[in-house]
């Protein structure tokens, strides 16, 4: 007698059934039979692992009026997510000590509808706190190689990053980097065109190469977040072949939006690094479909609406609020890759019971159905109805999200995810 038995479709259209007991998958395949307390005949829906979003900014405590853990996790569940890793900024104060990590953990345990992990901050002032944040369960450490936009979270220069990577290597935790190194540029104008020009691809490539060199020197596991260009992916691919322990992330908005969209949408499409040209986006898709991009993170970074208003694009808050629809929009072109977007995150960050729909793994899954409705503000579950995807029509929508075999609902509460330290070494590559 199973707790739950689901009959649906695999991404290739073949039958797929899933049996769940006590929150875990106990059987899966094309024809699982048996009796269950609940049996679902979702024969027109595709069954996929739920997304583990390793890159969100829910801004709580301190800036929950920008988003908040409750609204952010609710929107992620509607977008197909079962878990998130919250970045150390833009909460205030940022997570740079054990006490601040534990404060955010307590808040998330009381508010989050999904499982969660917490990044610790790697800044010049937090180096001495890295071991205690690791002991408190930090999933990894995040550093900015340029101005973060938050005074409380200063950039890590090469010396800081080297020392932080050395400590992180001893702690067997990855370091994630925002890889841009900014050089002064003389620009005229403050519109979107000027913003896009102000942070060229070279800023990324210089930072990625420095981070790779430091990872090679220290033996640190490196995770490069939100890479926007194929040249950056190629640097990582070459480094992997040289034995450097590195993985790379991109975000849905760098695959779904380009510079033409940025000019059309305006402030809602401002982010850093900025959106790239249509040709660059097409080449980034090629890297994704060839398996060279390891993970997808939303980099959901919202703000209150007044911070997205004004004629000076350089003064407007930079961040994409797309956590609810980024993944469903990607399904149109890359549903076959969806299983990797959770399994690779679980593997890289050492969550041994997450990321697969196989016996022994937690039953985190979504049911995906066809869709014909355009995205509108009344659908948005984030704190503020802001999204660059308004008016887009996803071919698919998330019908239901399950966390450990239970439908995610208003009363659902997630749990804190700690990385396992039973295994060390490079992440196994997804076939």
Whole-number Å distance between alpha carbons of 88 and 107: 14
Work out the number of other CB atoms within 10 angstroms of the CB of residue 209.
15
| Position 152 in a domain | yes
| Position 425 in a domain | no
Q: Which of 153, 122, 140 is nearest to 348 (CA)?
A: 140
Model confidence at 426, in pLDDT bands (50, 70, 90)?
Answer: very low
Position 150 pLDDT exceeds 90: yes
Q: Which of 158, 164, 156, 108 is nearest to 140 (CA)?
A: 164
Q: What is the pLDDT of residue 421?
A: 75
Are 391 and 379 members of one domain?
yes
CB 250 within 8 A of CB 296: yes
Cis, peptide link before residue 385, omega less than 30° from 0: no
Position 3 pLDDT exceeds 60: yes
SS3 128: helix
| Position 229 in a domain | yes
Mean pLDDT (the chain) is 95
User: Which residues form the domain of 89?
Assistant: 50-348
Are 268 and 341 members of one domain?
yes
Are 31 and 86 members of one domain?
no
CATH number of the domain where residue 289 is located: 3.20.20.140
Are 201 and 295 members of one domain?
yes
Whole-number Å distance between alpha carbons of 369 and 335: 12
Give the position of tokens 């006590």: 22
CB 394 within 8 A of CB 326: no
pLDDT by residue (tens digit) across 298-349?
A: 999 999 999 999 989 999 999 999 999 999 999 999 998 889 989 999 999 9
Are 121 and 20 members of one domain?
no
SS3 305: helix
Please compute the mean of the pLDDT values over residues 143-164 and round it to a whole number: 96
Are 40 and 75 members of one domain?
no
Are 320 and 396 members of one domain?
no
| Position 428 in a domain | no
CB 6 within 8 A of CB 30: no
| Position 242 in a domain | yes
Are 167 and 260 members of one domain?
yes
Residue 376's alpha-carbon distances to 246, 265, 322, 324, 390, in angstroms, are: 38, 14, 13, 12, 6
Domain count, the chain: 2
Whole-number Å distance between alpha carbons of 265 and 262: 5
Give the position of tokens 């997510």: 81
pLDDT by residue (tens digit) across 47-57?
A: 999 999 999 99
Are 96 and 171 members of one domain?
yes
CATH number of the domain where residue 9 is located: 2.30.40.10
CB 238 within 8 A of CB 209: no
Work out the number of other CB atoms within 10 angstroms of the CB of residue 8.
22
Instruction: Indicate the helix (H) or strand (E) that contains 70.
Output: helix 69-78
| Position 78 in a domain | yes
CB 79 within 8 A of CB 325: yes
Q: What is the pLDDT of residue 184?
A: 62
Percent of the chain with pLDDT over 70: 97
Instruction: Indicate the helix (H) or strand (E) that contains 198.
Output: helix 192-198
Whole-number Å distance between alpha carbons of 56 and 396: 23
Are 58 and 125 members of one domain?
yes
Interior/surface letters 309-329, b for 16+ CB within 10 angstroms, e for the rest: eeeebeebbbbbbbbbbbbbb
Whole-number Å distance between alpha carbons of 129 and 122: 9
Tell me, what DSSP letter sits at residue 79? Answer: T
Are 246 and 338 members of one domain?
yes
Q: Which pair of tokens denotes residue 314? A: 């350089």
SS3 134: helix
pLDDT by residue (tens digit) across 14-35?
A: 999 999 999 999 999 998 989 9
Q: What is the pLDDT of residue 389?
A: 98
Are 325 and 364 members of one domain?
no
Total count of residues recorded for the chain: 431
């Amino acid at each position: 007698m199973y707790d739950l038995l689901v009959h649906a479709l695999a991404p290739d259209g073949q039958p797929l059934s899933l049996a769940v007991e006590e929150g875990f998958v106990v059987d899966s395949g094309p024809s699982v039979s048996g009796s269950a307390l609940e049996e679902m005949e979702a024969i027109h829906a595709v069954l996929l692992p739920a997304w583990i979003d390793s890159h969100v900014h829910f801004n709580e405590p301190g800036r929950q009026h920008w988003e908040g853990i409750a609204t952010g996790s609710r929107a992620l569940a509607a977008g197909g997510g079962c878990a998130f890793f919250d970045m150390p900024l833009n909460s205030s104060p940022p997570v740079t000590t054990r006490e601040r990590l534990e404060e955010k953990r307590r808040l998330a345990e009381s508010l989050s509808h999904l499982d969660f992990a917490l990044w610790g901050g790697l800044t010049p002032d937090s180096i001495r706190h890295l071991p205690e944040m690791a002991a408190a369960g930090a999933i990894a450490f995040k550093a900015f190689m340029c101005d973060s936009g938050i005074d409380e979270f200063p950039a890590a220069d090469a010396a800081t990053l080297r020392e932080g990577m050395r400590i992180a290597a001893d702690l067997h935790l990855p370091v994630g980097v925002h890889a841009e190194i900014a050089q002064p540029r003389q620009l005229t104008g403050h519109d979107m065109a000027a913003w896009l020009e102000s942070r060229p691809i070279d800023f990324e490539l210089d930072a990625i190469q420095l981070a790779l060199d430091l990872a090679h020197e220290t033996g640190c596991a490196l995770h490069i977040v939100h890479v926007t260009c194929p040249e950056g992916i190629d640097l990582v691919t070459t480094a992997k072949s040289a034995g450097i322990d590195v993985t790379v992330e991109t975000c849905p908005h760098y695959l779904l939006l380009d510079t033409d969209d940025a000019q059309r949408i305006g402030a809602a499409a401002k982010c850093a690094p900025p959106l790239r040209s249509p040709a660059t986006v097409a080449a980034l898709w090629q890297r994704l479909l060839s398996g060279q991009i390891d993970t997808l993170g939303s980099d959901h970074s919202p703000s209150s609406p007044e911070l997205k208003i004004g004629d000076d694009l350089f003064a407007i808050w930079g961040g994409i609020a797309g956590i609810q629809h980024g993944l469903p929009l990607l399904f149109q072109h890359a549903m076959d890759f969806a299983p990797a977007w959770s399994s690779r995150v679980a593997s890289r960050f050492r969550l041994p019971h997450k990321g697969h729909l196989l016996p022994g793994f937690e039953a985190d899954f979504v049911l995906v159905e066809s869709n014909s409705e355009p995205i509108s503000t009344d659908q948005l579950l984030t704190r503020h109805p802001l999204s660059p995807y308004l008016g887009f029509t996803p071919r698919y929508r998330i019908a239901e999200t399950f966390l450990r075999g239970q439908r995610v609902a208003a009363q659902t509460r997630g749990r804190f995810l700690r990385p396992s330290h039973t295994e060390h070494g490079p992440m196994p590559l997804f076939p």
